[in-house]
Structures are given as structure tokens and as C-alpha cells.
């Protein structure tokens, strides 16, 4: 789904999708959980991203679902936390 991309400042990246569209995206909301800890804490690790099977990936096997970025979907971790919070409120 991705073609060339370019890491920018902080956690921003300019991606070009295979349909020719481009988008500058802040990946910060997607870098959640233990697998992304070293990437969040070390900008050089963030910049070590590459394209693997059509998505942004890192050497530690972390990746981001390309559909989430292309369609601006809510990351799975945020959906889970939101559902958990709603369940707690109804109890």
C-alpha cells in the first residue's frame, strides 16, 4: 500500500500510497505498547523504518497497519481502551 516515504521531524512521516496520494502523518498516536517503546525513546530507531509487505515497519518487527494510516482509522489499542473504559463506566 505504501511507496516511498520520508521521515520528518518528531514522529511525522510523509508517505506516498500506491494510488499516488500523499499524506504527512504524525505516527505518535500509533506508537503505543511495549513493541514501540524503543522507537518512541530513540528517534534514530524511529528513522530506521522501512517498507515491508506494503506497510511501515521497523527492525524490531513493529509495524503499522497501512489501512489505519490510509483511512485515518483509530488504532486497535485505542478502540480496546475505549471499550474497556465504557464497560467500567456502566458497572
Distance between CA atoms of 67 and 17, rounded to whole angstroms?
Answer: 11
CA distances from 33 to 3, 23, 59, 71, 78 (A): 26, 24, 16, 22, 11
Please give the domain boundaries of the chain with CATH numbers for all domains.
Answer: 2-90 (3.30.2020)
pLDDT interval class at 88 (50, 70, 90): very low
Higher-confidence residue: 27 or 81?
Answer: 27
CB 51 within 8 A of CB 57: yes
Place of cell 498516536: 29
Predicted local distance difference test score (pLDDT) of residue 34: 93
Least confident of 31-35, 61-65, 87-91: 87-91
* Nearest partner of 5 among 60, 59, 77, 70, judged by Cα: 70
Quick one: average pLDDT of 15-36? Answer: 89
In sequence order, the 6+-apart residues with CB closer than 8 A to the CB of 29 are: 75, 78
- Is the per-residue pLDDT at 51 higher than 50? yes
For residue 39, pLDDT beyond 90: yes
Give the whole-number percent of the chain exceeding pLDDT 90.
25
Amino acid at each position: 500500500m505504501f511507496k516511498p516515504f520520508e521521515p520528518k521531524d518528531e514522529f511525522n512521516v510523509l508517505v506516498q500510497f500506491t494510488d499516488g496520494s500523499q499524506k504527512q502523518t504524525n505516527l505518535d498516536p500509533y506508537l503505543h505498547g511495549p513493541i514501540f517503546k524503543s522507537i518512541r525513546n530513540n528517534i534514530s530507531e524511529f528513522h530506521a523504518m522501512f517498507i515491508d509487505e506494503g506497510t511501515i515497519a521497523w527492525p524490531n518487527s513493529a509495524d503499522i497497519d497501512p489501512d489505519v494510516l490510509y483511512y485515518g482509522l483509530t488504532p486497535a489499542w485505542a478502540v480496546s481502551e475505549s471499550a474497556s473504559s465504557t464497560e467500567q463506566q456502566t458497572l
